[in-house]
């Protein structure tokens, strides 16, 4: 996906103009017309916190590419991956002297931007047929 299109999409998610379709962990997720237009099951949400983090990461990657002298207009997202990180432990104090864990769920985000290469035009069929050798 091109970088400018991804940034526009995430800004629309923050403004509740486009929903992100939930296809895998979607039990209990409500249906919305915005998600129905993008995916068949129609379930979607607007994850503001997650979209904000990824939007900040995209802006940071864009400025890094600009410093390195890359063409910002031809950048596209070639790889993005989110993995679970180690949980951070805190504790919450309960009644009758009990203590329960209070865990956070952080993540690692991998992002790779690449420059779009110029496409090479295919030769006409007449030139391809003349180059073939007889076996």
Q: Are 1 and 76 in contact (CB under 8 A)?
A: yes
Strand spans (E) along 24-87? 44-45, 75-84
Domains of the chain: 3-82+110-131 (3.90.470.10)
pLDDT at residue 29, as a whole number: 94
Rounded Cα distance, 62 and 70, in Å: 9
Q: Which residues of the chain are modeled with pLDDT < 70?
A: 127-135
pLDDT at residue 102, as a whole number: 96
pLDDT at residue 37, as a whole number: 86
pLDDT at residue 119, as a whole number: 78
pLDDT at residue 103, as a whole number: 96
Rounded Cα distance, 17 and 27, in Å: 23
pTM for the predicted model, two decimal places: 0.79
């Amino acid at each position: 996906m091109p970088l400018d299109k991804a940034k526009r999409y995430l800004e629309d998610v923050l403004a509740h103009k486009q929903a992100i379709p939930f296809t895998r962990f979607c039990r209990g997720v409500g249906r919305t017309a915005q998600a129905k237009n993008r995916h068949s099951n129609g379930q979607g949400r607007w994850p503001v916190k997650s979209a904000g983090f990824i939007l900040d990461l995209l802006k940071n990657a864009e400025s890094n590419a600009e410093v390195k002298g890359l063409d910002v207009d031809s950048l596209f997202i070639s790889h993005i991956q989110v993995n679970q990180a180690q949980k951070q432990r805190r504790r919450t104090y309960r009644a009758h002297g009990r203590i329960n864990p209070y865990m956070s769920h952080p993540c690692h985000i991998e992002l790779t931007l690449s420059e779009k290469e110029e496409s090479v035009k295919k030769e006409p069929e007449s030139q391809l047929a003349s180059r073939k050798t007889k076996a």
